[in-house]
């Protein structure tokens, strides 16, 4: 702004801006004080607030005054506002020149900016002005003004509506002092008469009316300013006056700055001895010395045209201390020719008259002839007589008579105007009376008509009353009849309700049977599939065996042939060993073989020794290092493990000793004929492998059942009528998840199966087992447990998995527990599959995935994986349920503030600031995470109070634990885990107002006490009963390490929920309605935004004949609130929550 020049601001209006600046700054000082500049700028007609904005911009130096550039800026901004442009406009923008109605036209740039001199419809004529002045004087003005209570009857007599009269008063009372002077009275009366003549009342005061009223005042004064010649007796008529110039001159005097800045050569109004008044009749010549005031005149004549205007002299005249009325009168006396400007003689005269008035001299009505400046006498055709001529008595008498006639004429004019005004008022009064009379006559006629109509209506009402009486009697009879029918109907309804209850019980039983039948059918189908697979496998094996049998049959034929040949060879050999004399050839051959020449003895049985030991010398002739059948110390040669000496199952042989040759064949047979090749019996080998594998698998399953089963749980004070197991699932190379499985107390073979996950992230699912819906509850002593009557395993088997690794007893063998949403859902899926492999009998049960809090991320991501993996690993998945689930981080922040306000936790002023200043009037659609500045501080303060203000954020109406030393890890982890990534990312910058708030999330807030559960779970006896290895660290309900390092990946669960619903898997979202951590409004808005078809609007649901909450049902999804429940609804509203879950699992209405 400082770089702009005055020429760039004013552009082609530079000369006009220069003229305006001189008018604003007549003294030519470099700085214009604030008061002087403000008074000039008011002449633009703009409102004070708008001028305040203009001043703020124009005073760009902030020094409380304007220099020339600041004044030009103010002129440009006023022009902008007058042309409907904003004050923030570029100062180089071309605009028309500004308009200042209250300054002289001589300062305007062009005729287009001047006030037209011609009369308009709203101008006041001299006759009208005289009439209005007479009315004004008749009302008895005090100090030149009359009050509103005096003017009111006159205005009311006009008969105009009060609304119009009120507007007339507002436009007439220019200075808003509640009173009217003559000028303002003329305006008011003129507006009244114009409205009576059916003229439309203008929205603002017409400038022509304002100026003409001033002209009227001047003209009225000028009527007595003519000069009478003592000799001729004729009146001196001044030249025609310039209306526009005169108007602006008088207006300038009346609108001038009221502050006294001192007049030129001002003197104290003290009479000096011997000084004569200029009005003294004895003075014959022009008594004013022009030279005394010449220097002052030159200073005021800025344009050097030999004249000064009202604007040039206003500060000098106002500095005299005289009233505006007195100055206006003086000006009208001196401005003889009515041009709106004065020459140097007139200026000297007006200054002398001001001095005379200050000395107490009374102003005359007309200017004495000797005071007419000499320069004007030559231009006047009829000059008054000179003082020497006035000495003639006849001329003086004639002059006095003329003056008397003029005075009489003036009085007559005033009386005439008063009479005309009185007549107007009387006519107005008569007209008003006629209007009132006509109104009264019309009113009487209307009342008469109304009376006739009323009589008719009364007659009709009498008839109706009689008809109503008859109808009433008939109605009473019908009422009695209907009551009888109603009582009968009630009885039938009660009977129908009883029948409906019975039918509902039957229907419930039938549904239960149908569900069981569905499970059995599914199980039978699986068994049938397995049986068909077994039959197919056996049939294939039988085909292979038939082929082997055919091949073996052919082998058997060959064996029989070999056997016959062998039999024959044996017979021949026998003959050769014992030849007889019947065969001389054999005998001869035998003798040749017997080198000793002795006969061989017979090999009959009698020749064998009677004792085996005696025959072999009490020793085994085959024992030795090469004995393949030597003692192996009981080693099974058909086992899979080698002996310690490195030999295989066949002792010292590296292979089957019978694999290549048949020991039973003769030496002449040559190569083996495969008679003893057992490898050819492959069918028997495969069947043996399958048989041993089946036995091994059954043994492994039985082993897991036996090792993971909890035989005895320490501290249980009730009879446990169900089986329960505790163990680990290996979900990756280094991660092992601990589980605790409780079978159903009702029917473990058929009842549904639930997988449960608590949130955090980083909190154990055993919190749900031991604090919420498990079959046992830890007593305050931390050593014993009592039975939970509202346990969910009264109708389903439940698996509690501690996830991810590092939570509870789940661990990482390499110590690395870093994880995120995707890795957690993957490992949870592996745990679910391992459960079904370990407990295959539950594979066909109806399966549900459930959780709470940050389980709002665990459960949908896991369920979506199960849906995607159905083709590879089928699971009988029926539903998913979330309790106060953390399903959308942005909604959780936005709705928390609305929840707090709705529960009276936020001051009304803070709320209004958030709604109107920060959220543009609509807080419902406002993203509070994107606010900055003081708005962000407001949100920070709200959340600091919600979490650290002494309230329980998990149950607004539940007190915090009074013991400050209790364990509060769960609350710390929940609080840290539930802060959205959006806020953590936004408010992690340096000097951010939320940074301090989020750094406090690790602080301990003692609202939850879990010392009893911690004591029980870390008992050595309990660890041993749960099959927990001794090298695992102590158990904590939540892990700070997991919470702090957990990688959140998903801020919105909508895509996962939609996939699950589209897979025909039912979804339940239930919320305790006094939880502030994951409030019900988040769940409600989340469900509504999924785009699912709404099947049931919000409706109360009941438990034990009382409203327990509200439900909204969509296609595939139910949104449910639980009245009075906090974050852990199964713990704090156990009966209602258990009922809702059971109905959901059984697919019954809630």
What is the pLDDT at residue 579? Answer: 60
Tokens 């009730």 belong to which residue? 718
The rounded distance, in Å, linking the Cα atoms of 6 and 68 is 8
Nearest CA-CA partner of 257 in 310, 185, 204: 310
What is the pLDDT at residue 13? Answer: 87
- DSSP tag of 178: S
For the question of residue 59 being annotated catalytic, the response is: no
- CB-based contacts of 968, cutoff 8 Å, min separation 6: 961, 1004, 1005, 1006, 1007, 1008, 1009
What is the length of the chain? 1150
C-alpha distances in angstroms, 530 versus 544, 770, 869? 21, 39, 21
DSSP 653-696: -SS-TTSS--TTS-GGG-S--STT-GGG-HHHHHHHHHHHHHHH
Cβ–Cβ < 8 Å for 673, 558: yes
What is the pLDDT at residue 519? Answer: 74
For the question of residue 370 being annotated catalytic, the response is: no
- DSSP tag of 743: -
**Helix, strand, or coil (residue 1015):** helix
Task: Count the neighbouring beta carbons within 10 Å of the beta carbon of residue 515.
Answer: 17
Cβ–Cβ < 8 Å for 312, 23: no
The rounded distance, in Å, linking the Cα atoms of 842 and 752 is 9
Q: What is the dihedral of CA 587, 588, 594, 597, to 10 degrees?
A: 100
Nearest CA-CA partner of 144 in 131, 133, 153: 133
What is the pLDDT at residue 976? Answer: 54
Task: Count the neighbouring beta carbons within 10 Å of the beta carbon of residue 296.
Answer: 19
The phi, psi pair for 1043, rounded to 5°, reads -60, -45
Please give the radius of gyration of the chain, using alpha carbons only, rounded to the nearest integer: 60
The rounded distance, in Å, linking the Cα atoms of 98 and 84 is 12
What is the pLDDT at residue 1020? Answer: 95
- Catalytic residue among 208, 853, 968, 973, which? 853
The rounded distance, in Å, linking the Cα atoms of 677 and 673 is 9
Token pair recorded at residue 517: 């039948």
Q: Which residues of the chain have pLDDT under 70?
A: 1-2, 102-121, 198-200, 208, 210-276, 284, 378-392, 395, 399, 574-706, 962-1006
Give, to the nearest 10 degrees, the angle between helix 126-138 and helix 182-196.
110
The rounded distance, in Å, linking the Cα atoms of 1081 and 258 is 65
For the question of residue 853 being annotated catalytic, the response is: yes
Strands 877-883 and 1066-1072, bridge-based pairing: parallel
Question: Residues 74-101: pLDDT tens digits?
Answer: 999 999 999 988 888 888 888 989 988 7
**Helix, strand, or coil (residue 316):** helix
The rounded distance, in Å, linking the Cα atoms of 587 and 602 is 14
The rounded distance, in Å, linking the Cα atoms of 1011 and 494 is 52
What is the pLDDT at residue 230? Answer: 30
Task: Count the neighbouring beta carbons within 10 Å of the beta carbon of residue 422.
Answer: 13
- DSSP tag of 607: G
The rounded distance, in Å, linking the Cα atoms of 677 and 379 is 162
The rounded distance, in Å, linking the Cα atoms of 519 and 845 is 7
Nearest CA-CA partner of 741 in 826, 832, 807: 832
The rounded distance, in Å, linking the Cα atoms of 975 and 760 is 8
Nearest CA-CA partner of 185 in 197, 195, 171, 198: 171
The rounded distance, in Å, linking the Cα atoms of 127 and 244 is 19
The rounded distance, in Å, linking the Cα atoms of 479 and 484 is 8
- Catalytic residue among 129, 370, 738, 1127, which? 1127
Cβ–Cβ < 8 Å for 215, 242: no
**Domains along the chain with CATH numbers:** 6-113 (1.10.238.10), 711-1068 (3.40.50.1820)
Cβ–Cβ < 8 Å for 727, 707: yes
The rounded distance, in Å, linking the Cα atoms of 425 and 427 is 5
The rounded distance, in Å, linking the Cα atoms of 133 and 184 is 11
**Helix, strand, or coil (residue 91):** coil
The phi, psi pair for 312, rounded to 5°, reads -65, -35
What is the pLDDT at residue 812? Answer: 95
What is the pLDDT at residue 253? Answer: 32
């Amino acid at each position: 702004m400082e770089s702009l020049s005055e020429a760039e601001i004013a552009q082609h209006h530079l000369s006009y801006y220069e003229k305006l600046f001189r008018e604003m700054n007549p003294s030519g000082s470099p700085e214009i004080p604030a008061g002087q500049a403000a008074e000039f700028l008011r002449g633009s007609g703009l409102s004070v607030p708008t001028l305040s904005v203009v001043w703020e911009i124009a005073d760009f130096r902030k020094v409380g005054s304007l220099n020339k550039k600041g004044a030009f800026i103010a002129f440009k901004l006023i022009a902008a506002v007058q042309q409907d442009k904003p004050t923030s406009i570029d100062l180089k923008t071309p605009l028309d020149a500004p308009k200042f109605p209250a300054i002289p036209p001589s300062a305007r740039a062009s005729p287009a900016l001047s006030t037209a001199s011609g009369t308009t419809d709203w101008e006041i004529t001299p006759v009208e002005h005289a009439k209005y002045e007479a009315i004004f004087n008749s009302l008895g003005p005090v100090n030149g003004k009359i009050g509103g209570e005096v003017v009111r009857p006159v205005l009311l007599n006009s008969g105009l509506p009060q609304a119009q009269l009120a507007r007339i008063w507002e436009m007439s009372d220019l200075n808003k002092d509640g009173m009217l002077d003559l000028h303002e009275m003329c305006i008011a009366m003129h507006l009244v008469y114009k409205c009576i003549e059916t003229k439309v009342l203008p929205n603002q005061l017409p400038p022509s009316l304002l100026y003409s009223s001033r002209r009227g005042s001047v003209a009225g004064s000028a009527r007595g300013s003519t000069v009478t010649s003592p000799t001729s007796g004729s009146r001196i008529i001044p030249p025609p006056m310039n209306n526009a110039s005169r108007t602006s001159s008088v207006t300038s005097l009346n609108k001038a700055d009221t502050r006294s800045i001192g007049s030129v050569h001002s003197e104290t109004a003290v009479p000096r001895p011997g000084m004569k008044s200029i009005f003294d009749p004895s003075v014959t010549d022009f008594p004013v010395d022009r030279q005394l005031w010449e220097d002052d005149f030159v200073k005021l004549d800025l344009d050097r045209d030999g004249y000064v205007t009202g604007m040039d002299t206003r500060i000098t005249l106002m500095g005299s201390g005289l009233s505006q009325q007195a100055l206006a009168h003086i000006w009208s006396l001196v401005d003889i020719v009515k041009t709106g400007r004065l020459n140097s003689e007139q200026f000297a005269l007006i200054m002398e008259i001001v001095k005379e008035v200050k000395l107490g001299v009374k102003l005359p009505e007309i200017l004495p002839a000797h005071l007419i400046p000499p320069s004007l006498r030559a231009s006047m055709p009829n000059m008054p007589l000179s003082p020497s001529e006035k000495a003639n008595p006849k001329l003086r008498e004639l002059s006095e008579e003329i003056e008397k006639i003029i005075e009489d004429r003036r009085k007559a004019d005033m009386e005439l105007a008063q009479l005309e005004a009185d007549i107007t008022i009387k006519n107005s009064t008569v007209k008003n009376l006629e209007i009132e009379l006509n109104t009264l006559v019309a009113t009487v006629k209307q009342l008469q008509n109304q009376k006739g109509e009323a009589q008719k209506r009364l007659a009709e009402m009498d008839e109706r009353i009689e008809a109503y009486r008859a109808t009433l009697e008939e109605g009473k009879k019908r009422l009695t009849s209907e009551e009888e029918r109603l009582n009968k109907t009630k009885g039938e309804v009660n009977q129908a309700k009883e029948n409906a209850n019975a039918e509902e019980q039957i229907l419930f039983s039938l549904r239960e049977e149908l569900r069981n039948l569905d499970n059995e059918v599914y199980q039978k189908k699986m068994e049938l599939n397995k049986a068909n697979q077994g039959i197919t496998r056996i049939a294939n094996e039988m085909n292979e065996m038939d082929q082997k049998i055919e091949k073996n049959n052919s082998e058997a034929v060959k064996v029989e042939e070999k056997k016959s040949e062998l039999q024959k060879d044996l017979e021949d050999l026998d003959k050769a060993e014992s030849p007889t004399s019947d065969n001389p050839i054999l005998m001869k051959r035998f003798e040749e073989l017997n080198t000793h020449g002795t006969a061989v003895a017979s090999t009959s049985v009698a020749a064998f020794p009677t004792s085996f030991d005696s025959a072999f010398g009490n020793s085994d002739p085959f024992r030795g290092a090469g004995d393949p059948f030597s003692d192996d110390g009981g080693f099974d040669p058909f086992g899979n493990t080698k002996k310690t000496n490195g030999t295989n199952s066949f002792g010292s042989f590296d292979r089957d000793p019978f694999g290549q040759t048949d020991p039973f064949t003769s030496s002449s047979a040559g190569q083996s004929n495969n008679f003893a090749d057992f490898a050819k019996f492959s069918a028997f080998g495969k069947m043996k492998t399958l048989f041993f594998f089946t036995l091994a698998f059954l043994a492994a399953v039985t082993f897991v059942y036996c090792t993971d089963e909890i035989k005895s749980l320490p501290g249980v004070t009730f009879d446990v009528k169900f089986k329960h197991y505790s163990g680990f699932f290996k979900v990756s190379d280094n991660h092992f998840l601990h589980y605790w499985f409780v079978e159903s107390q009702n029917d473990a073979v058929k009842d549904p199966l639930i997988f449960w996950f608590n949130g955090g992230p980083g909190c154990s699912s055993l919190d749900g087992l031991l604090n919420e819906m498990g079959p046992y509850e830890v007593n305050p002593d931390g050593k014993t447990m009592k039975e939970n009557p509202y346990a969910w395993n009264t109708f389903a088997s439940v698996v509690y998995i501690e996830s991810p690794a590092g939570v509870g007893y789940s661990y990482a063998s390499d110590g690395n527990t870093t994880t995120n949403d995707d890795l957690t859902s993957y490992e949870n899926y592996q745990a679910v599959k391992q459960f079904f492999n370990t407990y295959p009998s539950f594979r066909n049960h109806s399966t549900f995935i459930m959780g709470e809090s940050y389980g709002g991320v665990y459960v949908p991501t896991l369920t979506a994986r199960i849906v995607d993996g159905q083709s590879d690993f089928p699971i009988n998945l029926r539903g998913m349920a979330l309790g106060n689930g953390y399903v959308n981080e942005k909604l959780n922040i936005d709705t928390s503030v609305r929840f707090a306000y709705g529960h009276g936790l936020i001051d009304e002023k803070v709320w209004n600031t958030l709604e109107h200043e920060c959220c543009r009037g609509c807080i419902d659609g406002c993203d509070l995470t994107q606010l900055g500045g003081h708005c962000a501080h407001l949100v920070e303060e709200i959340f600091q109070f919600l979490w650290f203000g002494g309230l329980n954020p998990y149950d607004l109406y539940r007190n915090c634990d009074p013991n400050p030393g209790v364990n509060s890890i769960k609350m710390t982890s929940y609080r840290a885990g539930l802060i959205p990534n959006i806020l953590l990312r936004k408010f992690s910058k340096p000097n951010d107002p939320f940074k301090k708030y989020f750094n406090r999330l690790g602080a301990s807030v003692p609202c939850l006490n879990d010392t009893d559960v911690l004591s029980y779970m870390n008992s050595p006896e309990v660890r041993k009963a749960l099959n927990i290895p001794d090298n695992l660290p102590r158990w904590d309900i939540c892990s700070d390490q997991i919470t702090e390092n957990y990688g959140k990946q998903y801020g919105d669960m909508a895509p996962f929920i939609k996939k699950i619903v589209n897979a025909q898997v039912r979804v339940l979202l239930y919320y305790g309605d006094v939880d502030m951590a994951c409030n019900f409004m988040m769940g409600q808005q989340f469900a509504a935004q999924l785009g699912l078809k709404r099947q049931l609007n919000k409706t109360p649901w009941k438990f034990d004949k009382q409203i327990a909450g509200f439900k909204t049902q969509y296609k595939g999804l139910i949104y449910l609130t639980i009245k009075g429940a906090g974050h852990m609804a199964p713990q704090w509203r156990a009966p209602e929550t258990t009922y809702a879950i059971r109905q959901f699992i059984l697919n019954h209405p809630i």
